[in-house]
Structure 1
Amino acid sequence: MRRKIFIIITIAGISNVLQAQEIPGKLSGGLESNSQYYIDDKATQAKAPRDKVATNSYFTLNYTLKNFYAGVQLESYLSAMMGYPEGLKGTKLTHRFAGYRTDKIDITAGSFYEQYGNGFVFRSYEERQLGIDNIMDGVNVRFTPLKSIRFKASYGLQRVLMDNGEGIVRGADLELDLLDLLKVKHNWGVTIGGSVINRYQKYTGPDDDFPPGVNAYSGRFRLTHPHYNLDMEYVSKSADPTDINKNIFKKGSLLYINQTITTNKGLSADIVFRRMESMEFRTDRTQKDNLAVLNYLPALTKLYTYSLPNLYPYAAQSMGEIGGKVDIFYHFKRGSALGGHYGTKLSLTASLYRNLDTVRLKSKEGFSAEFWKLGPTELYNDVNVSIERRWSPLVETIVSYMNLRYNQGYIQGPGFGMVNANIAIADVLLNFDRKNSLRVEMQHLWTVADEKNWAAALLEYSYAPGWSFFAGDMINYQSKKIHYFSAGGAFNYKEARVSLSYGRQRAGLLCVGGICRMVPAYSGANLSFTYNF
């Protein structure tokens, strides 16, 4: 323990000394530390672990000098907070990299993040709230000989928990801006691109036909205009037997189509379609949950920030789903009958996802499915309407109503059924002056399924520039009648922020950016500190 503390203090001390001596170049970084204290809670049946104090900490240090850059990240889990993978433990230097960057080339050796296209075949990224950090360890090259030609090549091992995994990853990506390349001046833009990824993991089992290597190919097309955008990508993946798909030899595919339409009349729309089949893609075929995931498959539904809609969040079904989402936005102008003095924003969102229409096969392929046919099982369906309006310098409101159908048994596992719920939300912001504001949030969910009706309320008070406080509660008042309360505050001063809260966490899916993980129920206090320099 003393050695771990010494490492952190030493690195922090070195950074201060280097800055004090005004060495050439630029030094930057930050510290983030999140601690929780757990207690037993009879109401929620949450049990505190033996070690009632858990801390996740991250210290980053980056250095740049002209075209050269380097950095490290130290992580410490003493012990990891509840809900994070059990393999995150101890203290270790998880990132270390150095690179050279010019206008035409960028070469990184060591740890690197990268994404090809929309990420459907390859994306390495970090999301600390979900315990995800699948950074690569190897060599990454970005080459831009012309503004209209962008090439990437990657090679390395993927991080799995605190070490590198077994699977070797090799990939390349090329993107061309055709009209710019042909020197055609036009307000339209046409971009084509393609990616290839190979993952190799040694196999020592008895099946001679088992593929140790898996290949994924992607082709994409993008059309851009001030009033219209079209983004299309198609992915083909070779057979990839894993523990999750019960070792079937099923090839994967994905089709993604996204259209965005804007007008000068205040109207805009975003339309997304996606069909995917057998797109589970990991560097370690034995892992599950969010571990060793090589590609990025977020749920393409509306991302809700309110608590009650997030009781039933959709999680993308990598083995098979077909569906999409439509967002329509309209801005009523100032001075109009519906716009009022400040204008009014109206949004309408609808999404629908079903499983694939599959037929079981006796061969190793496992199943087949018609490409365009919807499956018999509804996975998720929601319709949401929201009106945002500023009534005066003092008052702003957001009123929302949604209906959702959530196949809880299919998404979360056996033992659940279909949830049909209606949710109403009122969000009022009172700006008393430049320093003081109060936000009041009221929510209600109606359903006869699962835990039946819910009610929720939240108060947030802010005193600029540094202070904020909140208190909230939600209760399933027709079933278990448990109050999931929370209260706390935060203080910001320059580059530092400290927050303290106390409350209950409900067990269920936690989703960030369309990616989800299961979290257990727990009760207790949380202390967080961040500092950037």
Structure 2
Amino acid sequence: RAEITVGSYYEQLGSGLVLRTYEEPSLGIDNHLRGLRLTARPFDRLRLKLLAGRQRNYWETDASTIYGADGEWEVPTRHGRLTLGASWVARREQPDALSRIDTTGFSQTFTLRRFNLVQPVDVSAFDLRAAWHTRRWQWLAEYAWKGQDPSFDNGYTYRHGSALLLSGSWSTRGKSFLLQIKRAENMSFRGRRAASLSASTLNHLPPFAAQPTYALTALYPYATCNVPGEWAFRAEAAWTLPRRTPWGGRYGTTLRLRAAHIRDLALTDGPEGAEAMGTDGRRARNFWAMGGTRYGEWALDAERRLNRSLRLHATLLAQTINRTAVEGHGGRVNTLVGILEAQWQAGAETALRAEAQYLHTRQDQGDWWAGLLEWSLSSHFMFTLSDQFNARVPSSARGTTSSVHYWQAFATYTATRHRLQLGYGSTRAGYNCAGGVCRYVPAQKGFTLSYQLRF
């Protein structure tokens, strides 16, 4: 009962706090490992895993070597199932040649100097977790710790990293509830210490902000803050109104209420920038200390089927984001987004989908509206037409922001494992996010062609 993998593979240990390799084409992420993996089950309820390899970095492979070990043990009990797990991940990388800019004298002369920094060749991260599952309840407690890892992300400082994830959920027929808490401090872990943005990421902190699925909900996205860290809270409740009632209708109505609140860590005073290199840097005042609000949201979703062919979905979303804390500029922006979506099954192989969206804000670029029409013909062809428009530019932005239409048209063909898409249109500048990871995309106009082959 063993399995050996030689070559390229994706892997996630636990919730991904110390290791998660995955592919996300929209962000240009493919950080798989290339090497060896051994998975064994010496007993029915015990799973062991050993791995080693080098990480892909865009079109290249990092020079560092990644090692890991993981074990999970399922303990059956009278009232549920207890799962205990532990993971270890290590990176072996030779030191880099570092330089920093120093200022001297009253004239503030800038000098580029070689900086001799002790860089650990081996950096380890550990993860401990326990999950409890019953018929209606699911509980998870997971803690990760990372050794000294001076890197580009943390300004080449020496403080340790840590992450705590607590999750509890309850569900029964027609009802469910979820509550999660996360604390992360200096928990950036990469296959190359000098990497930045989305390159060479080894771990992944689960995002607590809802992942945008509509155009205007993605206008002000939130990216998880690994360094210096964050406190994050998330709650979600869902319930189904009974069928054949005034509120539930003939086919029933599903409601979902969700909220998220994310705050900075309250940090001690200390050196910043180049002056912090080689020190422990700024750390949290204490475990519970919180700073200002980074992001907050609440949303209400409702879905109702009117008949066998027509389904409606409505969303009301309120957001507040501190763009200065998240992006470095922009101040605080408060938004209110309304969305209405209709899906009509016109025939056995024909379907229509339409979206209408409106975003209201008194800050930044003002109000936006967006619309989409999608026609699916058989199981092979799909045609899409969409538009975004800056409906009302606030006075503070007049003269600097143009109210233009961002039209897009796509034709998509899908057959078995193949997907071919041709499009034309323009997109605004902004951030493209998935799984709490964001990448800046400049404004562009022209043709797009994409092809996907699934193995």
Give the TM-score of the pair, scaled to structure 2. 0.89
The verdict on how the C-alpha distance between 1:423 and 1:223 changes in structure 2, with shifts beyond 3 A counting, is same
Say whether the 8 Å CA contact 2:26–2:432 is kept in structure 1: no
2:354 matched to 1:440?
yes
Identity rate, percent: 31
Which whole-Å deviations, capped at 9, do the CAs of 1:41-95 have from their partners, x for residues lacking one? xxxxxxxxxxxxxxxxxxxxxxxxxxxxxxxxxxxxxxxxxxxxxxxxxxxxxxx
Give 1:315 shift: 0.4
Unaligned runs of 5+ in 1: 1-103
Q: Which residue does 2:73 correspond to in 1?
A: 176
2:323 maps to: 408
Q: Which residue of 1 aligns with 2:438?
A: 516
Q: Is 1:392 the equivalent of 2:392? A: no
The match for 2:85 is: 193
Question: What secondary structure does 1:296 align onto?
Answer: coil
Task: Note if contact 1:509-1:516 (Cα within 8 Å) is conserved in structure 2.
Answer: yes
Indicate if the aligned counterparts of 1:298 and 1:315 stay in contact, CA closer than 8 A.
Answer: no
* Kept in 2: contact 1:322–1:374 (CA 8 A): no
Show the counterpart of 2:449.
527
Give 2:403's aligned residue. Answer: 481
Against the structure 1 CA distance between its residues 420 and 152, is the aligned structure 2 distance closer, same or farther, given a 3 Å change threshold? Answer: same
Partners of 2:217 and 2:454 lie apart in 1 by 33
Specify the code of the residue in structure 1 equivalent to 2:411. Answer: G
Structure 1, residues 117-167: CA drift from partner, whole Å, max 9, x if none? 111101122222211111112211111112210111111211122222122
Q: Counterpart of 2:251?
A: 342
User: What is the SS of the residue equivalent to 1:517?
Assistant: strand
Alpha-carbon shift at residue 402 of structure 1 (Å): 1.0
Partner Cα distance (1:495, 1:247) in 2: 45
CA distance in 1, matches of 2:379, 2:447: 25
In structure 2, relative to structure 1, the CA distance for the partners of 1:277 and 1:391 (3 Å cut) is same
Aligned equivalent of 1:225: 134
The one-letter code matched in structure 2 to 1:497 is R
Q: What is the Cα deviation at residue 371 of structure 1?
A: 4.6
| Paired residues of 1:421 and 1:447 also in contact (CA < 8 A) | yes
- Relative to structure 1, the CA distance from residue 148 to residue 284 in structure 2 (aligned partners, 3 Å threshold; closer, same or farther) is same
> Counterpart of 1:492 in structure 2: which amino acid?
T
How far is the alpha carbon of 1:209 from its aligned partner? 4.0
TM-fit CA distance, 1:370: 4.0
1:269 equivalent in structure 2: 177
Q: Which residue of 2 aligns with 1:502?
A: 424
2:12 aligned with 1:115? yes
Deviation at 1:426, TM superposition (A): 0.8
Instruction: Work out whether 1:417 is the aligned partner of 2:417.
Output: no
Return the alpha-carbon distance in structure 1 between the equivalents of residues 407 and 188 of structure 2: 37
- Give the distance between the partners of 1:493 and 1:208, measured in 2 at CA: 55
Matching residue of 2:107 = none
Partner of 2:281: 366
Q: Secondary structure, in 3 states, of the residue corresponding to 2:325?
A: helix
Moved more, 353-362 or 248-257: 353-362
Match of 1:165 in 2: 62
Distance 1:212 1:178, change over 3 A: same
**How far apart are the structure 2 equivalents of 1:277 and 1:493?**
46
Report how many aligned residue pairs link the two structures. Answer: 423
What is the alpha-carbon distance in structure 1 between the residues aligned to residue 198 and residue 427 of structure 2? 21
Residue deviations 1:99-122, cap 9 Å, x none?
Answer: xxxxx1111223222211111101
Q: CA RMSD in A?
A: 1.7
Report the secondary structure of 2:440's partner residue: strand
Structure 1 CA distance for aligned equivalents of residues 234 and 338 of structure 2: 21
Q: Matches of residues 72-83 of structure 1 in structure 2 within 5 Å?
A: none
- In 2, the alpha carbon distance for the partners of 1:355 and 1:497 equals 42
- The answer to whether the 8 Å contact 1:441/1:459 transfers is yes
- Which residue does 1:306 correspond to in 2? 214
Could you say which residue in structure 1 is the equivalent of 2:262? 353
For 1:126 and 1:532, the matched residues in 2 are separated by: 13
Equivalent position SS for 1:373: coil
Distance 1:208 1:471, change over 3 A: closer
Higher mean Cα deviation, 297-306 or 503-512?
297-306
The one-letter amino acid paired with 1:247 is: Y
- Give the deviation of 1:286 after TM superposition: 0.8
TM-score of the two chains, using structure 1 as the length reference: 0.76
The residue type paired with residue 451 of structure 2 is F
- The Cα offsets for residues 372-430 of structure 1, whole Å up to 9 and x where unpaired, read as 4353321100000011001112321111111100111221223x111100011111122
Partner Cα separation in structure 2 for residue 244 and residue 531 of structure 1: 35
| Distance (whole Å) between structure 2 residues aligned to residue 410 and residue 421 of structure 1 | 17
- For the residue of structure 1 that corresponds to 2:347, the secondary structure is coil
Output the CA distance in 2 between the equivalents of 1:496 and 1:212: 44
Q: What 5-or-longer segments of structure 2 have no aligned partner?
A: 98-114, 394-401
In the aligned structure 1, how far is the partner of 2:435 from the partner of 2:320? 20
- Give the distance between the partners of 1:381 and 1:321, measured in 2 at CA: 13
Deviations 1:226-267 (A, max 9, x none): 200011110111111112211111110100011111023x21
CA drift of 1:187 comes to: 4.3
1: distance between equivalents of 2:417 and 2:8? Answer: 26
Tell me how far apart the structure 2 counterparts of residues 497 and 488 of structure 1 sit (CA, whole Å).
Answer: 13
Matched residue, 2:223:
315
